[in-house]
């Protein structure tokens, strides 16, 4: 599974939770803490993937070092 796939799935799930009209947080107009956590996780995964992508652009042979560690 690609990191982008999980990011998208987390964000979709957060959006779905926020739209369920029977949820107490939705009825009371309060934030959904689990949906917020899903969004936070998606953002963190995305930020780390951007960092990794940037590292590979700066150090093109980095993959050789990573393969050595496995």
For the segment 16-25, the average pLDDT, to the nearest whole number, is 92
For the segment 5-22, the average pLDDT, to the nearest whole number, is 94
- How many separate domains does the chain show? 1
In this predicted structure, what is the pLDDT of residue 33? 94
For residue 32, the enclosing domain spans 3-69
CA 11 – CA 40 distance, rounded (Å): 9
CB 28 within 8 A of CB 57: no
pLDDT digits (tens, 9 = 90+) for 27-59: 999 999 999 999 999 999 999 999 988 988 888
In this predicted structure, what is the pLDDT of residue 58? 87
Sign of the CA dihedral running 41, 3, 1, 14: positive
pLDDT for residue 12 is more than 70? yes
CA atoms within 13 A on the CB side of 3: 13
CA 70 – CA 56 distance, rounded (Å): 17
CA 56 – CA 3 distance, rounded (Å): 16
């Amino acid at each position: 599974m690609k990191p982008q796939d999980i990011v998208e799935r987390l964000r979709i799930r957060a959006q779905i939770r926020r739209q369920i009209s029977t949820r107490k947080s939705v009825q009371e107009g309060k934030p959904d803490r689990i949906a917020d956590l899903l969004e936070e996780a998606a953002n963190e995964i995305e930020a780390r993937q951007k960092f990794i992508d940037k590292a590979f652009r700066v150090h093109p042979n980095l993959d050789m070092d990573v393969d050595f560690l496995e």
